[in-house]
Structure 1
Amino acid sequence: MPKRQPTSQRKLNVLLSNGRFPVTLDLARQLRTAGHKVFVADCMHYHVCKFSNVVTRSFHTPSPREDAEGYVAGIVDAIRNANIDIVIPMHEEILYLAEVAQSNDLLRSRLLAPPFQTLVMLHNKWEFSRFLTQNGLGVPNTVLCRNYEDVQALDKSIEWALKPGYGRASMSVFHLRPGKPLPAPDEIGISEDVHYVAQEWTPGQRYCTYSVLQSGKVTALGAYPVKDTIDVHMLVTPALFLGSSCVYFEVIEKPEIRAFVDRLAAHLPGVSGQFALDLVERQDGVFVAIECNPRATSGIHLFSGTSRLALALTCRLPSDNLPVDDMPDHVGPPKRAKRKVAPGMLMWKRSNEDGSTKAIVKEYMGHMKRLVASRDVIWSWRDLMPSIMQPFLLTSYDEIYREKGLELPTMFQYDLVWEPRIEHLRECNAVEGNTIETFRAM
């Protein structure tokens, strides 16, 4: 009987769970560079991956947020129709897929994701803080707020970041400052079922990490400092910070970041998936984790133009029992990797609170240097159509967000966002206990 070819040498049929993000296009190109056949699925009729020559086929599905059952059925149909070997989730649709995978053997044997309960724990900011604290990993002072009275009871001498237990991209974060009035109850939207967490505002250098775990082993790791971001603010209340997205990615190697990720992985034995951390290096040199995104993130851009990440993601299939010693170990991005989202870089505005002319000029010149010296994540001479079709796609997006009455950044991820059902919230809230708890920074 012939020996089975190692997964790393096989050419796989890979399904990416949405096709609308630049990071999906980037990963599709990386997988194609590694020789794999790439498919995507999305509820948008037109998206950036639909026009890419590295994508074999785009499947149209219902919206997971509006029709979760239909979306999962569409993914299962795609698996059967295209003989998919592995499904790599790209955003919060991972939670819809992982929940069904608990009872669906076909999906479970192909989905690169942690078990559903582990996903929910990592995605929930309060539970993730508890998990870090219990395992000796750094986390800011964190308080669970179950109602507006809990918000009013916060220490008024401390700066806080008040955010939903389930959130993403720094959206709906309230910056509470000493001496400033609290947002009104109807602004926050806290309730018996929708809890918030208050994290002590932590000054310091922010970093984003992206890693791949296979059976608990770190097979890939990249990190970048947060430099250029585009932000959305609500004018009616300066305390509310609606969202923040990085648009510049420059690789950095810090032993402390690798050690933090390794310690996290050590407490997730046997778990496979993609994991992204938002870290802050405090002024005393200690690293603390603000939150975790257990899915694909923009850290994938650090690996652009290579097959390194593709190897780490496909070195084993979810159904394989490959020994960890046979897997890649801490595959990293190329040295001095620099990538940008060009439209986002052009939309950038200075954020330095120092209003001096010297500070403004220095920050602006640094931004321009990064803009000129880095490569765009969408543009490629070998795959021109995603860039050429940008005006058409923007017109299509404009029609969608006007029809739905949403802001463009919100619309872009609206269909994919996982909103926990009441039973999810109550199950998680039951774990939280009956009294307010506080976790102190390590």
Structure 2
Amino acid sequence: MTTVLLTLGRLPKALDLARGFAKAGCRVLVAEPYGWTLAGASRHVAREFKVPPPVKGKVAYLAALAEIVRREGVDLVVPVSEETMHVAHLAGLLPESAGLFTMPPEQVLALHDKARFVETAAAMGLTVPVSAPLGSAEAEALARSGPVVVKPVFSCSGNGLSILRGREPLPPADAGAPAVVQRFVEGGEHSTCTIAQGGRVVATMVYRGAVMSGSVAVAFERVDVPAISAWVERFVAETGWSGFISFDFIIDAGGVPYAIECNPRATSGVHFWEGEDIARAVLEPGWQGPVRVRRHRTLQQFYACLTETQGAMLRGKGFWPSLKSLATTRDVSWDWRDPWPFLSMIGTSWPIIWQSITKGARFGEVATQDVGWYEG
């Protein structure tokens, strides 16, 4: 039996992956700084291990993961979310018998870096917004020419992002927290999630936010945009990518997709695929079978959408549409054959809830703060 280690368990996409690998006949383990999590509550997870958060010490985090791999005879390590940038550094610490479903750290970090990603894609002739480092003369010229977006080079969930629409002055550059200035592209935002093997796209899901919590989608609608799928296929081929890889796009008025950033990891797009097919595509590098798409065109994270509905009621704006969406949209975590993750979600999500309350921040902003990569 193949043993798979997921390196995060708190997010719904981890639960989907856990269920999928178990249905494919794998023994599924979860490593997680929180200890007890959404995925760990599933009957499909054999064991969950508490590990130190990487923000408290990268060496201790990697050592803990490597020890689990050795002790439990793990065959494949699969990173789930923002911890991917740390987990990529396991490459030289694992026994030869253990695989790692991501690229080497230098390639992962090059795409996590929002400035370097744009340079990489532009060099391929792919469409990306004109960008420049904050503090440069080029950035000042961009800001004078029209609306721009300013965002940290290393961030997630929209943290630190600002849009300057009225040619207001740029913020001062900070050498300790580098940022990039991008020309603002007017249009509809779309996201993707791709499973890749050796530079070959196995499957790409294109979706857009249906309900937003800040800049993070908590309900999503799958859509078909051939121009985006073609963009992704070319990028994956040029980089020889293996692993999950995801992008955020803006489609302008002319229908041209501009990739505004890359997430070299899985995103919520995984919810639209059948979990067992995801597992097969990951486990078998030469997988030629289809990755089946679930029948639901729109999915939601129920508790996050409930919070947004309550907020709409308090604001007196958008309550009825939010309530209708909440009542009619399928939740990503609910499965009557495996009900405990959904039913225990308040308990397993309590660390995120508590941080959200005490810090006055949205769920998406605090959910990965302890596992994100925020430095060069």
The answer to whether TM tops 0.5 is yes
In the alignment, structure 1 residue 259 sits paired with structure 2 residue 230: yes
| Amino acid corresponding to residue 152 of structure 2 in structure 1 | P
Bigger-Rg structure (1/2): 1
2:129–2:259 CA contact under 8 A, matched in 1:
yes
Equivalence for 1:385: 340
Q: State the alpha-carbon separation in 1 of the partners of residues 302 and 262 from structure 2.
A: 26
SS at match of 2:342: helix
User: Partner letter of residue 260 of structure 1?
Assistant: W
Structure 1 residue 390: Cα displacement: 2.6
Q: State the distance in 2 between where 1:336 and 1:399 align.
A: 32
Task: Give, in angstroms, the shift of residue 136 of structure 1.
Answer: 1.0
- Counterpart of 2:115 (choices 101, 104, 126) is 126
Aligned pairs for 1:196-215 within 5 A: 196-215=179-198
Partner of 2:266: 296
**RMSD between aligned residues:** 2.8
In the other structure, the counterpart of 2:13 is 23
* Paired position in structure 2 for 1:167: 155
Q: Return the offset for 1:196.
A: 1.1
Structure 1 residues 118 and 56: alpha-carbon distance in aligned structure 2, compared to 1, 3 A threshold? same
Counterpart CA distance in 2 for 1:327 and 1:258 is 19
Matches for 1:129-144 after TM superposition, within 5 Å: 129-144=118-133
Instruction: Report how many aligned residue pairs link the two structures.
Output: 372
Whether the 8 Å contact between 2:194 and 2:202 is mirrored in structure 1 is yes
Shift of 1:81: 2.2
Instruction: Give the C-alpha shift of residue 97 in structure 1.
Output: 2.3
Change (3 A) 1:335 1:411: closer
- Say whether the 8 Å CA contact 1:129–1:139 is kept in structure 2: yes
1:178-189 → structure 2 map (5 Å cutoff)? 178-180=166-168, 182-183=170-171, 185=172
Matched, 1:61 2:30: no
- What stretches of structure 2 of length at least 5 have no aligned partner? none
Structure 1: gaps spanning 5 or more residues:
1-10, 232-243, 317-325, 352-356, 426-442
What amino acid does structure 2 have at the position aligned with 1:307?
E
C-alpha separation in 2, matches of 1:279 and 1:108: 37
1:309 aligned to 278, 288, 292, which one? 278
Q: Decide whether aligned partners of structure 1 residues 331 and 167 sit closer, same or farther in structure 2, where only a CA change above 3 A counts.
A: same
- 1:346 matched residue in structure 2: 306
In the alignment, the residues of structure 1 paired with residue 328 and residue 90 of structure 2 have an alpha-carbon distance, to the nearest angstrom, of: 44
1:18-57 alignment runs, 5 A limit: 18-57=8-47
TM-score, with length taken from structure 2:
0.89
Matches of 1:372 and 1:349, distance apart in 2:
11
- After superposition, give the CA deviation of every residue in 1:142-171 in whole Å (9 maximum; x if it has no partner): 122246x77555432411110011111121
Note the alpha carbon deviations across 1:236-289, whole angstroms, 9 max, x for none: xxxxxxxx21111222222212211111112112x3111001011110011110
Kept in 1, the 8 Å contact 2:190–2:249? The answer is: yes
**Where do 1:223-238 residues align within 5 Å?**
223-231=206-214
What residue in structure 2 maps to residue 236 of structure 1?
A: none
Per-residue CA deviation, residues 109-128 of structure 1 (Å, 9 max, x unaligned), is 41111111111111111111
